[in-house]
Amino acid sequence: MEQMKRIIAFTGSNNPNSINEKLVQSIISKYPDQSIKFIDLKRFDVPIYSQNIEQHGIPKPIKILFQLFAETDAFIIASPEHNGLPSAFLKNTIDWLSRINQKFLNEKPILLLSASPGPAGGKTHLQILEKLMLQWGALFVEQYSLGSFDQNLDKVGLVITNQQENIKLEKAMQAIINEQPIKKKQHVDVVQDYFNAFQNGNMEQVLNSFHPDCYIVSVKEEERPKEQLHGIYRTKDEVKQFFNNINSLFNTKDFTMEHISSAGDNLVIANGTFSHEVKATGKLFNSAWVQLCVIEDEKIKEYRFYEDSAAFVEAFKPHTLN
Ligand SMILES: Cc1cc2nc3c(=O)[nH]c(=O)nc-3n(C[C@H](O)[C@H](O)[C@H](O)COP(=O)(O)O)c2cc1C
């Protein structure tokens, strides 16, 4: 029989009422069959790193911690976000550990968590921390952040009340337990799948390609009356409106993508041409287009679409009699 994994869990918070600790405790009680040992870093009395102190030897609590790290199979680390970065408290512990061995995470999988009262849940700093964890020797890193903490976690029962959040956390936990990183879609594939769905007229899949909290700019970054095509759309409900507007204005004769590529961490750029017949005038609106997409959680979070707006205006002018 496969041996149960030993998992060490700790937070980077020195707050006695830490919400990150509550998140960790909720995971420990949710997985009673797993061997998850909570370590309270507050009890490790560690000075702020200084070369001067190090000259007199690495502090004993750090040596103990290092040994505990060596004896575990996996980690759960909950990191509070302070001004877009990990807390100084966590960073200090890490700095000390790295003085014994920079690869102190020893080729082990890590579930990186963060919780915050804000909607993003401290996700921003996890991107940075994930890269650093790999530098510190992690085998692979999964992330989970719980935003809007007060609404999403029942503080009495210490359970996450939002089902979608539970599903995400479960996926990340299973990856750590089974030592199999979650297969993630490449950013380019997210956009390519969206195009395929659009071209096949699969509206459900088109809508599913967008992040619930998405932001769309159709040509002009300004507010718009509901039925106006160009302007800003927010959230999934308005994504529907965006495609309704396209469908009510045009019969699409041709829509071609010529190029698609990843352009940095989360950005995908695509361009091509289209030919729309304007229903109101029967004229053709032909244009080149450029699309920029920012991808988050394998969904399109930000979408900017640019086309020839002069040709758009022209195609809507009624035919004039010569
Ligand atoms: C100095 C400071 C900076 C903070 N910066 C952020 C931040 O950048 N993003 C965020 O989501 N929350 C931020 N917060 C709010 C924390 O998410 C919140 O205090 C949370 O409770 C910290 O986790 P803990 O309770 O586990 O210590 C900040 C809090 C402090 C004290």
Tell me phi and psi for residue 175, to 5 degrees.
-60, -40
Is 182 part of a structural domain of the chain? Answer: no
Please indicate, yes or no, if residue 1 is contained in any of the structural domains: no
Percent of the chain with pLDDT over 70: 98
Atom of ligand 1 nearest to the CA of 117: 17
Examine the domain organization and report whether 163 and 213 are in the same domain.
Answer: no
Identify whether residues 211 and 154 lie together within a single domain. no
Tell how far the Cα of 116 is from the centroid of ligand 1, in angstroms. Answer: 6
- Chosen domain end from 126, 159, 177: 177
Candidate of 18, 24, 38, 83 to mutate for ligand 1, largest count of ligand atoms within 8 Å of Cβ: 83
**CB burial string 81-112: b at 16+ within 10 A, e below:** bbeeebbebbbbbbbbbbeeeeebbbebbbbb
Which pLDDT belongs to residue 157?
83
Q: 56 and 150 share a domain?
A: yes
Residue 320 lies in a domain: no
Q: Do 155 and 26 fall into the same domain? A: yes
Instruction: Convert the pLDDT of each residue in 161-184 to its tens digit.
Output: 999 999 999 999 999 999 999 888
Which domain does 101 fall in, by range?
7-177
C-alpha 147/C-alpha 118 separation (Å) is 6
Q: Measured on CA atoms in the order 302, 144, 112, 25, is the torsion positive or negative?
A: positive
In ligand 1, the atom with minimum distance to the C-alpha of 17 is 25
Reported as a single tens digit per residue, the pLDDT across 21-35 is 999 999 999 999 899
Q: Kindly state whether residue 11 falls inside one of the protein's structural domains.
A: yes
pLDDT < 50 stretches in the chain = 1
18 lines ligand 1 (CB under 6 A): yes
Question: Are both 23 and 171 inside the same structural domain?
Answer: yes
Number of domains present in the structure of the chain? 2
Distance 24 CA to ligand 1 centre (A): 16
Quick one: pLDDT at residue 190? Answer: 96
147 belongs to a structural domain:
yes
Q: Are residues 173 and 33 located together in one domain of the fold? A: yes
Which of these three, 119, 143, 177, is where a domain ends?
177
Q: Which atom of ligand 1 is nearest to the CA of 121?
A: 11
The one-letter amino acid at 41: L
Q: Are residues 143 and 254 in the same domain?
A: no
- The reply to whether 19 and 132 lie within a common domain is yes
Query: What is the predicted pLDDT for the residue at 4?
Result: 79
Ligand 1 pocket mutation, candidates 76, 112, 116, criterion most atoms within 8 A of CB: 116
Ligand 1 geometric centre to CA of 277 (Å): 52
The rounded Å distance from CA 217 to ligand 1 centre is 31
Claim to verify: residue 291 and residue 149 sit in the same structural domain: no
- CATH at residue 251: 3.10.450.50
Q: What is the pLDDT of residue 155?
A: 85
Among 154, 177, 200, identify where a domain stops: 177
Stated pTM of the model: 0.76
Going 180 to 38 to 67 to 125, the CA torsion angle's sign is: positive
User: What pLDDT does 5 receive?
Assistant: 87
